[in-house]
Amino acid sequence: MKQLLLVFIGGGLGSILRYYISKNLNDYYSNFYLGTFLVNIIGCLLIGIIIGLSLKSNYISENQTLLLATGFCGGFTTFSTFALESNYLFKESSLLQTSLYMGLSFTIGVLAISFGLWLCRML
């Protein structure tokens, strides 16, 4: 039950922060959803660091990993919003703008996770 509560609390905090950032940075009439993009990239970096720390000499516990990686990062990042916004861009913008948004989100996200893991190995 404690583990479910940790995921619940982390997810709630991550969702609130995602809402705040997206509300303030997304311009739904532009050709790039900056808030969602940044949230997903920051979330990828954070989960890379969190998992890296949990794998390296148990710097953070299993419960802390549940709170931060599963809960917070799970609530903070959003694949469904990314997919919806990609659909909007496809309908309202050029294929180039849509491809740029999707390609950058995916590529930089994977690189951010790798960078977070690499940072933890360097500790």
Q: State the binding site.
A: 74, 77
Residues annotated within the binding site for Na(+) are 74, 77
- Beta-carbon count within 10 A of 92 CB: 12
Residues 6+ apart with CB under 8 A from 110: 44
Tokens 């979330």 label which residue?
Answer: 43
